[in-house]
Amino acid sequence: MPSKLALFGGTPVIDRQLKPYRTIGDEERAAVDQVMKTGELSGFVGAWCDAFNGGPQVRAFEAAWQEKFGVRHAVSVNSNTSGLFAAMGAIGLGPGDEVIVPPYSMSATVMAPLVYGGIPVFVDIEPDTFCLDIDLVRQAITSRTRAILVVNLFGHPAELHALRELADERGIALIEDNAQAPLATENGKLTGTIGHIGIFSLNYHKHFHTGEGGVCTTDDDDLAQRLRLIRNHGENVVEPLAIEDATNLIGFNYRLTELSAAVGIEQLKKADSLVSGREAVSLRLSDGVRGLPGLTPPSIRDRCRHVFYHWGARYDESVSGVSRETVARALEAEGVPVWQGYVAPLYMLPAFQRRLAIGRDGFPFNLTNRRYDRVLCPIAERCYERELLEFAVCVFDMSDAETNAVIDAFHKVFENLSDLSNLAGEKAS
């Protein structure tokens, strides 16, 4: 007989909080101490000189990133969000230009086009990888489309090579938001290096990090220069560099500090083991829960490496007879912190529902007739409302024994589905 669920007063499988995932060690502390001794916590100067591109730690970090990811240019920034904004500026995005975006991501992905007056065009996701559906992308391209901004969500590559081919055919840019997928691959090539620009996150809860930070990668010399100018008050150097096309070169301050760069150098040395550790936990979890009724572990497309920022399973309550909310409550009672639905599709945010972003006159929505109605992306809405069940792999540092305990908790809950279905008001949709 299955043991009594903790939700109904039984003993939980996991009776203590899972250990937080921490990647900072003695190497990072020593590197930071060396920078502190120099007193040079930032090496940037916002005028044309040797220091326009940063100090010694920033330059060393960028060089190490270029080597690690096999790219011609790595431009550090102070966040993935800053990198997204800089990428939109670098491609020359202007008012009324359209950018194809997914509805499932962190909000910064779809806010980035608005900074330059671009119009986000939402395209639905694939039900198995949760990444942009390329067939729908193809249908969404118009004469106003300037770029496709694709997200390698949860650590799984989108159909990047096919999207790059499509972008090149149509004369538009492919920008990869690779915040969640460092060292993931498609057809042997690293994500973040297949689009015209890739953007990485170094936020504290990513696979490896600098607290806050990011990196833009590109093999295009012109795009790299424009990224660097936007990063560091580019308006001050347009004339000294004799730049003819100064579009969007009113610069910002997206600069990474020497302290963060020093941490990044040490984190990059550990990157392979840190990422493979998250991957191993996730694959073990997938194997352990495979076959449970109504639960489908994360898909991995052929010739892809999934690096599992999140472990995202699909749940079908019509098979199990129990709602996702109830299953999640039961898992949480057993000590497994799960996440339901990720985020609401981003076109539900007030900026899109009210068509208000910049200024009081509705710019840039006053340049388009596009509306952001509900059921715009039905698969994303379905995932949010009832299908997606996640475990945040990058939040916890789990041993094999703890991973096995999580698997045991899943089995315990699914072996007691009949008890859960008897809860008052419980109905399968």
Q: Residues 279-322: pLDDT tens digits?
A: 999 999 999 999 999 999 999 999 999 999 999 999 999 999 99
Which amino acid, 126? E
3-state secondary structure of 312: strand
d(CA 358, CA 87): 19
In degrees, rounded to 5, the angle at the alpha carbon of residue 266 between the alpha carbons of residues 255 and 72 is 60
Predicted confidence (pLDDT) at residue 274 exceeds the cutoff of 90: yes
**Percent of the chain residues topping a pLDDT of 70:** 98
Say which residue the tokens 């930070």 belong to: 213
Predicted confidence (pLDDT) at residue 134 exceeds the cutoff of 80: yes
Record the tokens describing residue 173, joined without a space. 């840019």
- In this prediction, residues 93-111 reach a mean pLDDT of 98
Q: What pLDDT band is residue 423 in, cutting at 50, 70 and 90? A: confident
Say which residue the tokens 């120099």 belong to: 38
- In this prediction, residues 262-279 reach a mean pLDDT of 98
Q: Residues 137-154: pLDDT tens digits? A: 999 999 999 999 999 999
- In this prediction, residues 21-42 reach a mean pLDDT of 97
> Cis omega before residue 345 (within 30°)?
no
Record the tokens describing residue 322, joined without a space. 């129990």
- In this prediction, residues 23-32 reach a mean pLDDT of 97
What pLDDT is stored for residue 426 in this prediction? 54
Predicted confidence (pLDDT) at residue 429 exceeds the cutoff of 50: no
The CA–CA distances, whole Å, from 43 to 35, 37, 224, 235, 327 equal: 11, 14, 19, 19, 52
What pLDDT is stored for residue 2 in this prediction? 66
Q: What pLDDT band is residue 375 in, cutting at 50, 70 and 90? A: confident
Which amino acid, 343? V
Q: Which helix (H) or strand (E) holds 353?
A: helix 350-353
- Residue 387 is given by DSSP the state I
This prediction's pTM: 0.96
Q: What is the DSSP string of 410-429?
A: HHHHHHTHHHHHTSTT----
Q: Residues 319-368: pLDDT tens digits? A: 999 999 999 999 999 999 999 999 999 999 999 999 999 999 999 999 99
d(CA 426, CA 417): 11
Phi/psi for 420 (5° steps) reads: -65, -35
- In this prediction, residues 263-281 reach a mean pLDDT of 98
What pLDDT is stored for residue 287 in this prediction? 98
- In this prediction, residues 226-247 reach a mean pLDDT of 95
Q: Residues 154-189: pLDDT tens digits? A: 999 999 999 999 999 999 999 999 999 999 999 999
Q: Residues 192-218: pLDDT tens digits? A: 999 999 999 999 999 999 999 999 999
Assess contact for 127 and 383: CB atoms under 8 A: yes
- Beta-carbon contacts of 256 under 8 Å, excluding residues fewer than 6 positions away, are 54, 58, 61, 76, 77, 78, 210, 213, 264
300-309: buried (b, 16+ CB within 10 Å) or exposed (e) per residue?
bbeebbbbbb
- Beta-carbon contacts of 255 under 8 Å, excluding residues fewer than 6 positions away, are 42, 44, 54, 58, 77, 78, 231, 232
**Percent of the chain residues topping a pLDDT of 90:** 97
What pLDDT is stored for residue 1 in this prediction? 45
Predicted confidence (pLDDT) at residue 370 exceeds the cutoff of 90: yes
CA dihedral sign of residues 44, 183, 188, 101 = negative
In degrees, rounded to 5, the angle at the alpha carbon of residue 152 between the alpha carbons of residues 382 and 85 is 105
How many residues does the structure list for the chain? Answer: 429
Q: Which helix (H) or strand (E) holds 185?
A: strand 185-186
3-state SS string over 161-183? HHHHHHHHHHCCEEEEECCCCCC
Q: What domains appear along the chain, each with residue ranges and CATH number?
A: 26-268 (3.40.640.10)
In degrees, rounded to 5, the angle at the alpha carbon of residue 220 between the alpha carbons of residues 136 and 246 is 95
291: alpha, beta or left, given left = phi > 0 and alpha = psi -120 to 50? left
What pLDDT is stored for residue 388 in this prediction? 98
Can you state the angle between helices 221-231 and 80-90, rounded to 10 degrees?
A: 120
Q: Can you list the pairs that 413-418 forms with residues at least 24 positions away whose Cβ atoms lie under 8 Å?
A: 413/5, 413/327, 413/330, 413/331, 413/334, 414/292, 414/293, 414/295, 414/320, 414/327, 415/2, 416/2, 416/5, 416/330, 417/293, 417/320, 417/321, 417/322
Assess contact for 227 and 52: CB atoms under 8 A: no
Residue closest to 296 by CA, chosen among 414, 159, 415, 152 = 414
Assess contact for 417 and 321: CB atoms under 8 A: yes
d(CA 65, CA 195): 17
